[in-house]
Amino acid sequence: MTAKLYDLELSGNCYKVRLAAALMGVPLEVVPVDFLAGAHKVSPLIDLNPFGEIPILEDDGVVLRDSQAILVYMARKWGGESWLPNDAAGLAEVVSWLMVAENEIARGPNDARLHDKFGTKLDVDLARSRAARVLGLLERHLERNAWLALDRPTIADVACMPYVALGHEGGVPMDGHAAVAAWVRRVKSLPGFAGMPAI
Amino acid sequence: MTAKLYDLELSGNCYKVRLAAALMGVPLEVVPVDFLAGAHKVSPLIDLNPFGEIPILEDDGVVLRDSQAILVYMARKWGGESWLPNDAAGLAEVVSWLMVAENEIARGPNDARLHDKFGTKLDVDLARSRAARVLGLLERHLERNAWLALDRPTIADVACMPYVALGHEGGVPMDGHAAVAAWVRRVKSLPGFAGMPAI
């Protein structure tokens, strides 16, 4: 059975899953969700994910919420150790960047884009100042490293790249962050890479 | 060499690391950080964690930031599969709850406590409404499950419990959430459990 992704094309979180599938060469059945109608807030989707969000991955009886957790599953099941190692230090290093995707990037460029593109009510000045901070942290890290973790592409890059590259849709472009922009280009040149609108 | 934790006693994130060490029976060298003086924002700590935050774990040449990532490291190195399984589905299920700690709980009860207890400038009404939402989600999950993941204690519980139990310090007590309160009591009764001020 092909794994099923409940998807929204414009969601950077859903895109992470599509990107990982493309990079790992895994076929996905992509099920578009009627997001504007709130299909993710009612049955049957709310029964799969009580948090009322997408992406949701369904695979062989396993149901998973949260894009970062789904990346972990995909790497362990299909991607192999190069995408997510088993050893304590390597695994934790990758996970520490998944947390940047879930925290600093979500509260920064992702929130700013939610405000500008989808009309979500939130403090957009705070989101933009958080975006500037995380872009600065990424820039300094990527001036010395080609990839976020372990000197190679991992799911850390898959998790963190999309909302950084979509920042221009929230008023936080990559201008002045040459190392970040070069890293985004490196991710885009990986074999199998798939894009999304605005990336 | 004993692992070294750069610590603040009142930080729920630092407490997660101390709690995991207690539950896993791992000795830690706890190094108090002068948080009020901003020691985490300058050398030498900023060189260990450019994000300027604690906890930081130093162990055998490995330096890690982010409490959730540190829990992953500790489980893989010391705790064993019962705390964090290796298989794709089990690992991802636990990670999906680590993401709740990093996202919904951080933006909810943790932010509310930062405002009330430490004077952090943020939208405390929004933090409290997010806290109410995640408490409701946890309540419904814990009405049907004794533990967050895999029907047993895992690092998911270690990651999520502290700021839920500290919610009363941010105006979001557990009142009316009997299943959440019972779960906190279950965590507190685990062999080796260690508390912190206000828990």
Share of chain B above pLDDT 70, in %: 100
What the block records as the tokens of B166 is 């500290």
Beta carbons within 8 Å of A120's beta carbon, 6+ residues apart = A111, A114
- A118-156, pLDDT tens digit by residue? 999 999 999 999 999 999 999 999 999 999 999 999 999
pLDDT digits (tens, 9 = 90+) for B141-187: 999 999 999 999 999 999 999 999 999 999 999 999 999 999 999 99
Domain B3-79, CATH: 3.40.30.10
Q: CATH 3.40.30.10 in chain A, residues?
A: 3-79
pTM for this prediction: 0.98
- Categorize the per-residue pLDDT at A115 as very low, low, confident or very high, splitting at 50, 70 and 90: very high
Whether residue A22 has pLDDT greater than 90:
yes
CATH 1.20.1050.10 domain extents, chain B: 88-188
Gap between the Cα atoms of B184 and B199, Å rounded? 10
pLDDT at residue number B138: 98
- Cα separation, A182 vs A138, whole angstroms: 12
Collapsing DSSP to helix, strand or coil, B139 comes out as: helix
Q: Strand, helix or coil at A146? A: coil
**CB–CB of B76 and A91 under 8 A?**
yes
pLDDT digits (tens, 9 = 90+) for A53-109: 999 999 999 999 999 999 999 999 999 999 999 999 999 999 999 999 999 999 999
Please list the alpha-helical segments (H only) found in chain B.
12-24, 45-48, 67-74, 88-100, 111-118, 124-144, 155-165, 178-188
Instruction: Return d(Cα A68, Cα A51) in angstroms, integer.
Output: 15
Count of CB pairs separated by less than 8 Å, A with B: 95
Is the CATH number 1.20.1050.10 carried by domain B88-188? Answer: yes
Q: If 0-12 CB within 10 Å is exposed, 13-18 middle and 19+ buried, where does residue B74 land?
A: buried
DSSP A110: I
Sequence length of chain A is 199
Over 90: is that where the pLDDT of A170 sits?
yes
* CB contact at 8 A, B37 and B28: no
- Give the mean pLDDT of B126-149: 98
Q: Work out the average pLDDT over A35-39.
A: 94
Q: Which amino acid is at A18?
A: R
Angle at the Cα of A172 (from A170 to A178), degrees rounded to 5? 145
How much is the pLDDT for B1? 83
**pLDDT at B126 exceeding the cut of 90:** yes
Asked whether the beta carbons of residue A92 and residue B70 sit closer than 8 angstroms, the reply is yes
Please determine, for residue B26, whether its predicted confidence score (pLDDT) is greater than 90.
Answer: yes
Tens-digit pLDDT profile for residues B54-76:
999 999 999 999 999 999 999 99
If you measure CA to CA, which chain A residue comes closest to B77? Answer: A88
Residue A123 with chain B: CB contacts under 8 Å:
123
pLDDT score of A92:
98
Average pLDDT (A42-55) is: 97
Chain A residues near any Cβ of chain B (below 8 Å): 50-51, 62, 64-66, 68-70, 72-73, 76-77, 86-89, 91-93, 95-96, 98-100, 102-104, 106-107, 122-123, 126, 137, 140-141
Residues of A in Cβ contact (< 8 Å) with B50: 137, 140-141
B152 φ, ψ to 5°? Answer: -155, 165
